[in-house]
Structure 1
Amino acid sequence: MRRWRSALVAVALVALTSTAAGCTKAVTGAAQPDPATAAVEITEDGYGIRAGFDDAPVEIEIFTEPQCTHCADLQADFGDQIAYYIAVGQLAVTYRPVTFLDSEADGHSARVSNALFVAASPSPDGDTPTGPAFQRFVEELWAAQDPGGSGPANDEMADMARAAGIPDYQAGEIASGDLTFDTAAMSDTNLIYLLDIDPLESGTPTVYDLTNDEKVDVYDNDWLSTLMAS
């Protein structure tokens, strides 16, 4: 499935845009992560953020829009449990933001998505946040959403990042407000993945079980406990 999806994206992005530059992530001499701490890293394709241990037995993707109220409900209802399962090594989560509710290129959803990728990027010393800290940052951002508005200010997002446990370097970069990440290419790519999962009902939030290769019914109140029990 993953190889097929990657090939689909490569073809579809040519049709979507001929100007999007490829994103790479090269870190020289980065510090080794603490093996006792759930790590955070940008995915190989460059458009997702994975939080969790490498050997987590359950792995999911969450497709989410920063202005989606149902996505905010998901975080309010299940965010703390997700953070717990990440911390104890039972769950790895890859967040795949999309920005289809934005009316402009640098709108609310793009700014929040950019802040997520800045938070997940290594500092010059190779430091990254822990998985639970990143999850808490996600919860704070979606709790502060302003659908149809400008969303939280850069310094507000930086304060949320620090409160969640994101390192000072990344929080400072968020406060600067620089849009350093190609959120348009990110959204195009993740929407293609989303359509591949379910071309008929491709809204957000969508949770995809990578372990069992199937879409999860997030409107079942027991979806997370059922998933973890399996």
Structure 2
Amino acid sequence: MRSWLGTLAVLAVFGGAMAGPAAAEPGAPGTALSPDHFGVLAGSTSAPVQLEIFCDPQCPECAKFEAASDSSLGRHLAAGDVAVTYRWMTFLDARRGNDVSARVGNALMAAADPATSAASYQGFVGELYRRGGTPSLQDIADTARDAGLPAPVVERIGAGQPAVDPGSMNAYNRVQLLAANPEKPGTPTVYDINTKTVVDTGDAGWLDRLVQGS
């Protein structure tokens, strides 16, 4: 499904996150920017289950998905048997006349860091959706701290340091979403990279079954 948009490569100049999987603790799966710089890889590229999750920070259906799946995702990310590339989108800003998705999306990209574990990143994602609303930079930074993200990352988020151009990120990730789920290109979409299929997340055991079948 991957299509490289060369005109967007300029985005590599944004952000302080480093590419290449790393871990906050020895042996713990870490986080990094995806090679195209428009996603966050939580976990290792060697994990047997590789997923892409497309979400907008203001999407109510994404909030429902995270409420149902956050615990399972965090458990499997910590165990190292699942890796997730989160692809954040910002299309709801235009519909709602605000910049919440861009602000939260930038923070979620800024959280990709060698010191941020995959499980704590998932905790950050889940808690942002749980709290909802229209968070300020300080609110987002407080959520990052409460999720256990490293202090330098929390400070970077609180300062609003640019990590990505939100409009270009949305445009690039929309191309990937259309390729992954052309029939229903909405959020949330969970895509199994190994089988090249959209995952049915309709019941609580969906991730356990993927892991057991890998």
Partner of 1:37: 28
Match of 1:172 among 155, 165, 182: 155
- CA gap of 1:27–1:119, structure 2 versus 1, over 3 A, is closer
Partner of 2:100: 108
The answer to whether the 8 Å contact 2:178/2:185 transfers is: yes
Q: Which runs of 4+ in 1 moved over 3 A?
A: 24-28, 32-35
Partner of 1:228: 211
Query: What number of residue pairs does the alignment pair up?
Result: 208
Write the letter of the residue equivalent to 2:12. Answer: C
- The whole-number CA distance in structure 2 between the counterparts of 1:199 and 1:207 is 13
The answer to whether the 8 Å contact 1:39/1:51 transfers is: yes
Match status 1:213 vs 2:196 = yes
Match status 1:137 vs 2:134 = no
CA deviation string 1:87-117 (max 9, x = no partner): 1111001100011100289700000000011
Q: So what's the TM-score if we normalise by structure 2?
A: 0.88
Match status 1:69 vs 2:52 = no
- The whole-number CA distance in structure 1 between the counterparts of 2:44 and 2:145 is 22
- The whole-number CA distance in structure 2 between the counterparts of 1:176 and 1:168 is 12
Deviation (angstroms), 1:136? 0.2
- The whole-number CA distance in structure 2 between the counterparts of 1:27 and 1:142 is 22
Structure 2, gaps ≥5 residues long: none
Deviation (angstroms), 1:119? 1.2
- CA gap of 1:181–1:22, structure 2 versus 1, over 3 A, is closer
Deviation (angstroms), 1:6? 1.9
Partner of 2:177: 194
- The whole-number CA distance in structure 1 between the counterparts of 2:97 and 2:68 is 30
Of all paired residues, the percent bearing the same amino acid is 36
- CA gap of 1:105–1:21, structure 2 versus 1, over 3 A, is farther
Q: So what's the TM-score if we normalise by structure 1?
A: 0.82
Match of 1:22 among 8, 11, 17: 11
SS at match of 2:111: helix
The answer to whether the 8 Å contact 1:113/1:183 transfers is: yes
The answer to whether the 8 Å contact 2:16/2:110 transfers is: no
Partner of 1:97: 88
